[in-house]
Amino acid sequence: MSISTEGLDIKGKVIFSTGNIMSMSDITKKPSQNSTEELVEAIKFTLKNQKTKSNEFITDHLQMGSKGEEIQLKMQEIGFDDLKIGLKVFLINDNPALLEEALSQALQKQLNVPKVFDVIISFKNHSLDEAANQEPNLLDKSEFDNLNQIKPIWKCLETYVSKKIVGELGIADIEESTFKELYEWATIKPSIVQINLETCCVVPPGLQSFCKEKEVKLYTHNDSSVILPDKLVEEMFGNTLELQWAVRFTIHIKCRGVLTTKGYCICMDTKAK
């Protein structure tokens, strides 16, 4: 499991991009069961195959991994209008600045696109996660159980929709009642609610009928509650760093069920004391 980041004395902020994992044959040969496994494999693959010289200091952070050239080339080949690009942002707190950073990394640096079809947010408070370790019944508790925590993030997302940078908004793993509150409160209503694949056969009827009534898309995901646990960050990048955000981009060819591109950008920074 241990990965050598040879010669790299990683301190301070790092943004790491995997590039398109759909074209990594090592990953295709070992299909992952969940996103964490997939992300870890992709990071390892990228670390193994990219020369350290491609790392670059940009203003305040170290940029590692793919610069997105291959992805951008592929999009050009297929044609932007035929693509449906979606983002999912994994956040650890309600600081909109981190959300903005994640979106800008994906939109401008990796993909270099003026707009995406949708953005789904997933919010995981790490301190809560640790609490859950001690008290397992907390695990069942969805993280989005408090509208006040969502509000600053959602407000920020809404500005992207008004600027026509993002088409639709979605949210993952949210309590039914909180989702309804969000729906009532929000100026730009959520179009998507994402639930864990494990629960796709036992969707709460209330949520089901609410979604039907409001024409909200009830999608599944197969993401662990913490996309990249501290332990794995430590193993791959050293013990001074912790995850700030992660963003996954998926690019589909419209109406053909073809997934051409999938990748992650993650941001890590020195652990808060």
Partner 1 sequence: MGLLTEGTPLTWEETKKLAEHVREHGIIQFINLYKRLKERKGDVLKWGDEIEYIIIKFDDENKKARVSLRGEEILNVLNQEEQNHPDTVKCLWRPEFAAYMIEGTPGQPYGGTLAHFNVVESNMKLRKQEATELLKDKEYLMSLTSFPRLGCPDFTDPPTKATPNEGGTKSLFFPDGAVFGGHPRFMNLVRNIRKRRGEHVAINLPIFRDKNTKIPVDDSHTIRKAALPDCVYLDAMGFGMGCCCLQLTFQACNIDEARTLYDQLTPLCPIMLAFTAASPVHRGFLTDVDCRWNVISGSVDCRTEEERGLKPLKENKFVINKSRYDSIDSYLSTQGAKYNDIAVLYNEEDYKKLRDNGIDHLLAQHVAHLFIRDTVSLFSEKIYQNDEEDTDHFENIQSTNWQTMRFKPPPPHSTIGWRVEFRPCEVQVTDFENAAIVCFVVLLTRVILSYQLNFLIPISKVDENMRNAQKRNACKEQKFWFRKDITTDVSPPEANRCCAGSNCQPKECDMVGFMTVNDIVNGKHGDFPGLIPLISSYLNGMDVDADTHCTIQQYLKFIQKRASGEVLTTAAFIRKFVMEHPNYNHDSVVSEIINYDLLTTLKDISDGNKSCPELLGYSVTTKTKENVPQALKNDF
Residue 203 Cα distances to 35, 119, 168, 184, 200, angstroms? 21, 22, 22, 21, 6
Least spacing, CB of residue 205 vs partner 1, in Å: 12
> Considering the complex, what minimum distance in angstroms separates the CB of residue 252 from partner 1?
7
Is 265 a binder of partner 1 (CB under 8 A)? no
* 257 lies in the binding site for partner 1 (CB under 8 A): yes
Of the candidate spans 1-9, 90-98, 123-131, 216-224, the one that interacts with partner 1 by CB under 8 A turns out to be 216-224
Q: Counting contacts by CB under 8 A, is residue 188 touching partner 1?
A: no
With CB under 8 A as the contact rule, the residue among 203, 235, 240, 242 that binds partner 1 is: 203
Tell whether residue 197 is a contact of partner 1 (CB under 8 A): yes
Q: Can you point out the beta strands (E) in the chain?
A: 14-17, 56-58, 61-65, 83-91, 116-123, 166-172, 192-196, 217-221, 241-253, 258-270
Check binding of 209 to partner 1 (CB under 8 A).
Answer: no
- In the list 44, 61, 74, 84, the residue contacting partner 1 (rule: CB under 8 A) is 84
User: Which residue's CB is nearer to partner 1, number 183 or number 219?
Assistant: 219
User: Which CB, 10 or 193, lies closer to partner 1?
Assistant: 193
What does each C-alpha distance from 170 to 167, 218, 221 come to in angstroms? 10, 10, 12
Distances in Å between the Cα of 136 and the Cα atoms of 53, 125, 126, 128 are: 44, 15, 15, 11
Q: What SS3 state is found at 29?
A: helix
Closer to partner 1 at the Cβ: 209 or 270? 209
Residues touching partner 1, count (CB under 8 A): 44
Are the C-beta atoms of 145 and 128 separated by less than 8 Å? no
Of 30-38, 177-185, 226-234, 239-247, the window that binds partner 1 (rule: CB under 8 A) is: 30-38
Phi-psi region of 201 (alpha: psi -120 to 50; beta: other; left: phi over 0): alpha
Indicate which single residue of 3, 5, 8, 22 sits in contact with partner 1 (rule: CB under 8 A): 22
CA distance 70 to 227: 25
Q: Which of 11, 30, 115, 271 binds partner 1 (CB under 8 A)?
A: 30
Interface with partner 1, residue 221, by CB under 8 A: yes
DSSP code for 271: P
Binding residues for partner 1, per CB under 8 A?
Answer: 22-23, 25, 28-35, 38, 82, 84, 86, 117, 195, 197, 199-201, 203, 208, 211-212, 215-222, 250, 252-260, 262
